[in-house]
Amino acid sequence: MDSLPFSQASENNKLPIHQVLVRHLVSRCSLLEIGGGTGQHAEFFAEHFPGLIWQSSDVPSNIELLNLRIAHARLPNLPLAISLDVNETHWHCGSFDAVFSANCLHIISEQSVENFFAGMDKCIHKDGLLLVYGPFKYDGEFTTESNAGFDVWLKSRNPVSGVRDFEWVNKLAQDSGLTLVEDSIMPANNQLLVWSKL
Protein backbone atom coordinates (compact mmCIF):
# COMPACT_ATOMS: atom_id res chain seq x y z
CA MET A 1 0.00 0.00 0.00
CA ASP A 2 1.52 3.32 -1.15
CA SER A 3 0.15 5.37 1.75
CA LEU A 4 2.11 3.47 4.41
CA PRO A 5 5.06 5.26 6.05
CA PHE A 6 8.31 4.33 4.33
CA SER A 7 12.04 4.78 4.91
CA GLN A 8 14.55 3.72 2.25
CA ALA A 9 17.21 3.22 4.95
CA SER A 10 15.01 0.67 6.76
CA GLU A 11 14.44 -1.11 3.48
CA ASN A 12 18.20 -1.26 2.87
CA ASN A 13 19.27 -2.34 6.36
CA LYS A 14 16.59 -4.90 7.29
CA LEU A 15 18.34 -7.85 5.61
CA PRO A 16 21.82 -7.20 7.09
CA ILE A 17 20.23 -6.64 10.51
CA HIS A 18 18.29 -9.89 10.12
CA GLN A 19 21.56 -11.78 9.58
CA VAL A 20 22.69 -10.72 13.06
CA LEU A 21 19.31 -10.99 14.80
CA VAL A 22 18.82 -14.56 13.60
CA ARG A 23 21.82 -15.65 15.69
CA HIS A 24 20.28 -14.13 18.83
CA LEU A 25 16.49 -14.22 18.58
CA VAL A 26 15.52 -17.71 17.41
CA SER A 27 14.85 -19.03 20.89
CA ARG A 28 13.37 -15.77 22.26
CA CYS A 29 9.62 -15.28 22.83
CA SER A 30 9.13 -11.55 23.31
CA LEU A 31 10.82 -8.37 22.14
CA LEU A 32 10.24 -4.66 22.72
CA GLU A 33 11.21 -2.31 19.89
CA ILE A 34 11.94 1.29 20.91
CA GLY A 35 11.47 4.06 18.33
CA GLY A 36 9.69 1.85 15.77
CA GLY A 37 9.46 4.68 13.19
CA THR A 38 7.73 3.52 10.00
CA GLY A 39 7.13 -0.04 11.28
CA GLN A 40 9.11 -1.59 8.41
CA HIS A 41 11.48 -3.34 10.83
CA ALA A 42 8.54 -4.51 12.98
CA GLU A 43 6.72 -5.97 9.97
CA PHE A 44 9.79 -7.61 8.45
CA PHE A 45 11.18 -9.12 11.66
CA ALA A 46 7.78 -10.27 12.96
CA GLU A 47 7.35 -12.10 9.66
CA HIS A 48 10.81 -13.67 9.92
CA PHE A 49 10.57 -14.60 13.62
CA PRO A 50 7.04 -16.07 13.87
CA GLY A 51 7.72 -17.49 17.36
CA LEU A 52 8.60 -14.04 18.73
CA ILE A 53 6.02 -11.46 19.86
CA TRP A 54 7.40 -8.22 18.38
CA GLN A 55 6.03 -5.36 20.51
CA SER A 56 6.89 -2.12 18.80
CA SER A 57 6.68 1.28 20.48
CA ASP A 58 7.34 4.93 19.82
CA VAL A 59 6.65 8.37 21.25
CA PRO A 60 2.91 9.20 21.37
CA SER A 61 3.15 11.58 18.38
CA ASN A 62 4.35 8.74 16.07
CA ILE A 63 2.06 5.92 17.21
CA GLU A 64 -0.72 6.53 14.72
CA LEU A 65 1.69 6.45 11.77
CA LEU A 66 3.56 3.40 13.08
CA ASN A 67 0.31 1.51 13.63
CA LEU A 68 -0.82 2.11 10.05
CA ARG A 69 1.77 -0.39 8.84
CA ILE A 70 1.43 -2.72 11.82
CA ALA A 71 -2.37 -2.96 11.41
CA HIS A 72 -1.95 -3.48 7.66
CA ALA A 73 0.51 -6.36 8.25
CA ARG A 74 -2.07 -8.36 10.28
CA LEU A 75 0.56 -10.69 11.74
CA PRO A 76 -0.43 -12.74 14.82
CA ASN A 77 2.87 -11.97 16.59
CA LEU A 78 2.78 -8.23 15.82
CA PRO A 79 0.44 -6.40 18.22
CA LEU A 80 -0.33 -2.70 17.78
CA ALA A 81 2.52 -0.48 18.93
CA ILE A 82 2.41 1.06 22.39
CA SER A 83 3.38 4.60 23.45
CA LEU A 84 6.81 4.72 25.03
CA ASP A 85 8.95 7.81 25.46
CA VAL A 86 12.29 6.83 27.01
CA ASN A 87 12.11 10.00 29.13
CA GLU A 88 9.04 8.76 31.01
CA THR A 89 9.84 8.09 34.65
CA HIS A 90 7.93 4.80 34.62
CA TRP A 91 7.86 2.67 31.49
CA HIS A 92 4.46 0.94 31.35
CA CYS A 93 5.58 -1.73 28.92
CA GLY A 94 6.30 -4.85 30.98
CA SER A 95 9.40 -6.99 30.63
CA PHE A 96 10.77 -8.77 27.56
CA ASP A 97 13.32 -11.38 26.44
CA ALA A 98 14.96 -8.72 24.25
CA VAL A 99 14.89 -5.03 23.38
CA PHE A 100 15.74 -3.76 19.87
CA SER A 101 16.28 -0.16 18.79
CA ALA A 102 17.52 1.09 15.42
CA ASN A 103 18.75 4.58 14.59
CA CYS A 104 17.48 6.19 17.77
CA LEU A 105 20.50 6.91 19.98
CA HIS A 106 21.91 9.51 17.58
CA ILE A 107 18.52 11.24 17.29
CA ILE A 108 17.60 11.59 20.97
CA SER A 109 19.50 13.85 23.41
CA GLU A 110 22.36 12.64 25.64
CA GLN A 111 19.99 12.82 28.63
CA SER A 112 17.50 10.67 26.70
CA VAL A 113 20.25 8.15 25.88
CA GLU A 114 20.96 7.94 29.62
CA ASN A 115 17.23 7.44 30.28
CA PHE A 116 17.10 4.78 27.54
CA PHE A 117 19.77 2.70 29.30
CA ALA A 118 18.35 3.34 32.78
CA GLY A 119 15.06 1.89 31.48
CA MET A 120 16.76 -1.39 30.52
CA ASP A 121 16.95 -2.28 34.18
CA LYS A 122 13.23 -3.14 34.29
CA CYS A 123 12.22 -4.00 30.73
CA ILE A 124 14.68 -6.85 30.02
CA HIS A 125 14.39 -10.24 31.73
CA LYS A 126 17.44 -11.82 33.33
CA ASP A 127 19.48 -13.48 30.54
CA GLY A 128 17.75 -11.14 28.08
CA LEU A 129 19.35 -9.07 25.32
CA LEU A 130 19.60 -5.48 24.17
CA LEU A 131 20.30 -5.01 20.43
CA VAL A 132 21.09 -1.50 19.17
CA TYR A 133 21.70 -0.58 15.53
CA GLY A 134 23.22 2.72 14.40
CA PRO A 135 26.45 4.71 13.90
CA PHE A 136 29.00 5.11 16.71
CA LYS A 137 32.36 6.80 17.33
CA TYR A 138 35.26 4.81 18.77
CA ASP A 139 38.03 6.47 20.86
CA GLY A 140 36.40 9.79 19.94
CA GLU A 141 36.88 9.15 16.19
CA PHE A 142 34.22 8.72 13.54
CA THR A 143 34.54 5.38 11.75
CA THR A 144 34.28 7.15 8.35
CA GLU A 145 34.29 10.64 6.81
CA SER A 146 30.70 10.02 5.89
CA ASN A 147 29.72 9.56 9.55
CA ALA A 148 31.54 12.80 10.45
CA GLY A 149 29.39 14.57 7.83
CA PHE A 150 26.29 12.80 9.11
CA ASP A 151 27.02 14.13 12.62
CA VAL A 152 27.24 17.71 11.31
CA TRP A 153 23.96 17.23 9.43
CA LEU A 154 22.23 15.75 12.51
CA LYS A 155 23.32 18.70 14.68
CA SER A 156 22.17 21.21 12.07
CA ARG A 157 18.68 19.69 12.29
CA ASN A 158 18.72 19.44 16.08
CA PRO A 159 21.71 20.43 18.25
CA VAL A 160 20.94 17.69 20.82
CA SER A 161 21.38 14.94 18.22
CA GLY A 162 24.75 13.42 17.34
CA VAL A 163 26.68 10.21 16.72
CA ARG A 164 27.43 8.77 20.17
CA ASP A 165 30.69 7.49 21.62
CA PHE A 166 30.68 3.71 21.83
CA GLU A 167 32.64 3.81 25.12
CA TRP A 168 30.09 6.14 26.78
CA VAL A 169 27.15 4.06 25.59
CA ASN A 170 28.83 0.83 26.68
CA LYS A 171 29.46 2.30 30.17
CA LEU A 172 25.76 3.25 30.44
CA ALA A 173 24.88 -0.32 29.43
CA GLN A 174 27.27 -1.77 32.01
CA ASP A 175 25.75 0.47 34.70
CA SER A 176 22.39 -1.08 33.79
CA GLY A 177 23.72 -4.60 34.30
CA LEU A 178 24.43 -5.35 30.64
CA THR A 179 27.54 -7.00 29.18
CA LEU A 180 28.59 -6.47 25.57
CA VAL A 181 28.54 -9.78 23.69
CA GLU A 182 28.83 -8.60 20.08
CA ASP A 183 29.79 -5.54 18.06
CA SER A 184 29.16 -6.18 14.35
CA ILE A 185 30.20 -3.84 11.57
CA MET A 186 27.18 -3.27 9.34
CA PRO A 187 26.75 -1.73 5.87
CA ALA A 188 26.46 2.07 5.49
CA ASN A 189 28.87 2.83 8.37
CA ASN A 190 26.69 1.39 11.11
CA GLN A 191 27.19 -1.06 13.97
CA LEU A 192 24.94 -3.60 15.62
CA LEU A 193 25.72 -3.79 19.33
CA VAL A 194 24.39 -6.68 21.40
CA TRP A 195 24.41 -6.74 25.19
CA SER A 196 23.28 -9.50 27.50
CA LYS A 197 21.81 -9.14 30.98
CA LEU A 198 23.72 -11.83 32.84
Ligand X SMILES: C[S@@+](CC[C@H](N)C(=O)[O-])C[C@H]1O[C@@H](n2cnc3c(N)ncnc32)[C@H](O)[C@@H]1O
Within 8 A by CB and 6+ apart from 53, the residues are 29, 30, 31, 77, 79
Q: Which residues bind ligand X (CB under 6 A)?
A: 7, 9-10, 34-38, 41, 58-59, 62, 84-87, 102-104, 107-108, 112
Nearer to ligand X, 10 or 55 (CB): 10
Q: CB of residue 118 vs ligand X: minimum separation in angstroms?
A: 13
Among candidate residues 35, 43, 41, 80, the one with its CA nearest the CA of residue 61: 35
Nearer to ligand X, 56 or 196 (CB): 56
Nearer to ligand X, 152 or 198 (CB): 152
* Residue with the CB atom nearest ligand X in the bound state: 37
CB of 97 to ligand X, least distance (A): 19
H or E stretch at 173: helix 166-175
CB closer to ligand X, 105 vs 178 = 105
The DSSP secondary structure of 83-103, one letter per residue, reads E--TT-SS-TT--EEEEEEES
